[in-house]
Amino acid sequence: MTFRAFLAIVLCKLLRLVSRLLHRGGTAMPGRWALRVCPGLLGILAKDVKTVAITGTNGKTTSARMIEQAFADQGKSYFANRSGANLLSGITTEFVMNSTLSGRCRKEYAVIECDEAASVSVFPQLRPQVIVVTNLFRDQLDRYGEVTHTLANVRAGIQGAPGAKLCLNADCSLTASLADDLKNEAVFFGIDPGACPPGEKSELSDAPHCIRCKTEYQYDFITYGHLGAFRCPRCGYRRREPEYAVTQVVSQTAEGSGVVLCVRGESRLAEVNLPALYNVYNAVGAVAAVTEMGLGADAGIAAVEHFKCGFGRMENFALGKAGAKMMLVKNPAGCNQVLDFLCQVKEPFALVVCLNDRGADGTDVSWIYDAAFEKLKACGGRLGQIAVSGDRASDMAVRLKYAGVAPKALHLERNYEALVQWIDAQERPVFIIPTYTAMLELREAVIRRVGGAEFWE
């Protein structure tokens, strides 16, 4: 190791120490400075670590927590970037904190979630053993650009990690196309046609045209969004048979989903410990990753059955008479899935929507019109008051008005302390759907009232 790398490690550890003394997270900043001193630092530290990396638009954090659970259960020596700092800087910080001053990593394995745009700079240094790509949807166009640009980024990143085995979502035509030209070995995961009630064909598909020849896809089955059994009538590009398949969704409740998982031809039952169909995808992807990392499918299945995600992903809080559940939303596809979940709630509930437009949320809030808030009409009388908050609360209120919500059912509350009080005063269960930075702030306000873990814990 060079003297430069040593300096960078010392600097990073010092900055982290100072951050924590100041009660800050210090998740990305120390790594950013360390990289200035030694740009190739991550490559040096990650060299001897067996890493599984998770990227894609939606489900990165949840999938990473599921995978991490398997490593914890098996008593493996591992670490993970739990704080959500998933750019080169944050990932570097995490590696430094798990390394000695001489640059030797103290852990055998790493579970790393990686921002899809950052994958191009991260993967060539990280050289993961397994890379999971969960899905690709349109997301924060001001930051990522078109979804095909994101795909190109991920592809370029994987090109820098030729030894990585890929776990790809077979049902996402964009993600699955990574196996077309990359030489990496690839396995697929997905939800088989007929395994669950079919989703509706969305007019706002993020990938209506063939990635190879631009002809409109035909679908034999859709789970949601553009995910499903796609095929191109012209060039023949189609969904591959996944090695890791959900062949049946047996039950779907507010607590979780029961599924039949077929791993390389062998079927087993699994109870996914989080509700909604998108978490079924996260679960089958996690089982694929855990198995390909050599821990065995049983370890993967056990992990998805008892892991806890927290951190704003279906996270429960002891607020109000009947509890509150926080569900992070970032883009139309994810938001539609959350809205579908709300439509299935049987009991009366209250709703909180917090819309921010800072860098990590996407500065363009137009996407709220691509999310089908009209679905809320299906909740009828079960949906009571809707509190609206965040930097762009009034835009959210207008959106809900145009979705058919009566303005008198809207409660605009910009102050988070007051909002938490409002939630705590509700008789009904409360569902909170914040964007990323709104989630961080609101979570802090909630924790000040009822307690809970800091974001980096």
Which residues sit at the interface with another protein, rule CB under 8 A? 141-142, 146-148, 203-204, 208-209, 214, 216, 363-370, 392, 394-395, 397-399, 401-402, 407, 410
Q: Which is nearer to another protein, 294 or 359 (by Cβ)?
A: 359
What is the spatial distance between Cα 26 and Cα 41, in angstroms, rounded to a whole number?
18
> Least CB distance from residue 189 to another protein, whole Å?
25
Least CB distance from residue 168 to another protein, whole Å?
A: 20
Min separation Cβ 332 and another protein, Å? 8
Interhelix angle 29-37/3-21, rounded to 10 degrees, is 160
Of 186 and 210, which has the nearer Cβ to another protein?
210
Residue 308: other Cβ atoms inside 10 A = 13
CB of 300 to another protein, least distance (A): 35
Smallest separation, CB 137 to another protein (Å): 13
Distance CA 85, CA 97 (A): 13
Q: Which residues contact 55 (CB under 8 A, 6 or more apart)?
A: 113, 114, 115, 116, 119, 131, 132, 133, 134, 154, 157
Q: How many CA atoms lie within 13 A of 83 on its CB side?
A: 18
Q: Which residue(s) pair with 434 in the sheet?
A: 354
Closest to another protein by CB, 325 or 399: 399
Nearer residue to another protein within complex by CB, 183 or 408: 408
Smallest separation (angstroms) from another protein to the CB of 293: 34
Least separation in angstroms between residue 141's CB and another protein is 6
Specify whether the CB–CB gap between 17 and 38 falls below 8 A: no
Instruction: Select 218 or 316, whichever has its Cβ closest to another protein.
Output: 218
Q: 321-324 long-range CB contacts below 8 Å, 24 or more apart?
A: 321/426, 321/427, 321/428, 322/426, 322/427, 322/428, 322/429, 322/430, 323/429, 323/430, 324/423, 324/426, 324/429, 324/430, 324/431, 324/432, 324/446
**Strands of 134-217, DSSP E:** 165-169, 186-191
Cβ closer to another protein: 40 or 145? 145
- Contact (CB, 8 A) for 166 and 185: yes
Least distance in Å: CB of 358 to another protein?
A: 12
Structure tokens at 438: 């709104």
- Of 236 and 407, the one with the shorter C-beta distance to another protein is 407
Which of residues 203 and 347 has its CB atom nearest to another protein in the complex?
203
Is 305 or 395 the residue whose CB approaches another protein more closely? 395
> What's the min distance (Å) between Cβ of 352 and another protein?
17
Cβ atoms of residues 338 and 330 within 8 Å: no
Cβ at position 396, least distance to another protein in Å: 9
What lies within 8 Å, CB to CB, of 408 at 6+ separation is: none
**What is the spatial distance between Cα 187 and Cα 178, in angstroms, rounded to a whole number?**
11
Nearest partner of 381 among 416, 346, 418, judged by Cα: 346
Nearest to 144 by CA among 163, 166, 116, 165: 116
Nearer to another protein, 17 or 213 (CB): 213
Q: Are 131 and 161 in contact (CB under 8 A)?
A: yes
